[in-house]
């Protein structure tokens, strides 16, 4: 299996570990190179949103990968990262985790981790991708805007650990699921569905900037897209980056 994290570049503070990793990837850094920071001054989420990244309180990690997959397949990298974080929480720290498609890992119904995968594309292949993972580790309180939606490992377990203690097992799980994403995507998709209460039979509203649909989730397509059944029985495949998803109630 591949190793991720044999080279880890540590910074006290960066704007965004994803930006630092993208620069390194563009100048040839090999697969598995990681960037880890104690603090981000401009941590990013999707669509220009920000990621709260206070000094010493979270894990801010970006991993460079160079998978032989098609660009249209790149959502599987987000799914692999979410499964790796979910397993680390459950197996390493006994925190029950739930994955909310496409890029949130939840604990007790609150967001404990966000994932931002950014890719450079050449033709229809990926030249490289940067898997950015933010995990709330030591926070006991959050800024007002996210105080009702966020949680941390410390809040969930009562334990205080260093972010690097989470990074080590996370990189091992990520290596396994990254490998599966490339070689056996069906195994990864099945594991993701097993870890997500949103995957099957969940009534959801999916919104993008110019449309909105409501339906029932019907698992993942082979590309990693979420399958949503509309009221008339039509199945829509929803791709990451386009939408946000609001769970309503769970139906059979």
CA distance 97 to 108: 8
Q: What are phi and psi of 87, to 5 degrees?
A: -65, -40
H or E stretch at 132: strand 125-136
Q: Which residue number has the CB closest to ligand BT5?
A: 114
Closest contact distance (angstroms) between CB of 244 and ligand BT5 is: 7
Q: Residue 102, preceding bond cis, omega within 30 degrees?
A: yes
Q: Does 16 bind ligand BT5 (CB under 6 A)?
A: yes
Binding mask 122-161 for ligand BT5 (x = CB under 6 A): ----------xxx-x---------x--xx-----------
Q: Does 17 bind ligand BT5 (CB under 6 A)?
A: yes
Closest contact distance (angstroms) between CB of 162 and ligand BT5 is: 17
CA distance 60 to 37: 6
Could you say which DSSP state residue 234 is in?
P
Segment lying near ligand BT5 (by CB under 6 A), choices 113-121, 159-167, 180-188, 215-223:
113-121
Measured from the CB atom, the residue of 109 and 183 that comes closer to ligand BT5 is 109
CA distance 23 to 41: 17
Closest contact distance (angstroms) between CB of 68 and ligand BT5 is: 24
Closest contact distance (angstroms) between CB of 139 and ligand BT5 is: 7
Q: Which two tokens stand for residue 174?
A: 């990520």
């Amino acid at each position: 299996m591949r190793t991720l994290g044999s080279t880890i570049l540590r910074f006290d503070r960066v704007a965004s570990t994803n930006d630092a990793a993208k620069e390194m990837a563009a100048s040839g850094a090999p697969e598995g190179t990681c960037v880890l920071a104690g603090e981000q001054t401009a941590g990013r989420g999707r669509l220009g949103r920000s990621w709260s990244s206070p000094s010493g309180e979270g894990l801010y990690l970006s991993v460079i990968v160079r998978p032989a997959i098609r660009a249209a397949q790149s959502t599987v990298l987000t799914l692999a990262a979410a499964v790796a974080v979910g397993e680390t929480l459950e197996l390493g720290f006994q925190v029950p985790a739930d994955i909310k498609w496409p890029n949130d890992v939840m604990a007790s119904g609150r967001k404990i981790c966000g994932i931002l995968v950014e890719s450079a594309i050449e033709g229809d292949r990926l030249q490289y991708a940067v898997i950015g993972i933010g995990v709330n580790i030591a926070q006991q309180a959050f800024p007002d805007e996210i105080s009702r939606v966020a949680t941390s490992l410390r809040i969930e377990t009562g334990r205080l650990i260093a972010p690097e203690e989470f990074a080590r097992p996370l990189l091992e799980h990520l290596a396994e699921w990254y490998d599966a994403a490339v070689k056996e995507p069906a195994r990864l998709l099945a594991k993701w569905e097993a870890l997500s209460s949103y995957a099957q039979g969940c009534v959801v509203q999916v919104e993008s900037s110019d449309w909105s649909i409501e339906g029932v989730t019907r698992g993942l397509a082979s590309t990693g897209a979420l399958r949503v059944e509309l009221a008339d029985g039509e199945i829509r495949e929803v791709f990451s980056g386009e939408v946000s998803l609001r769970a309503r109630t769970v139906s059979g």
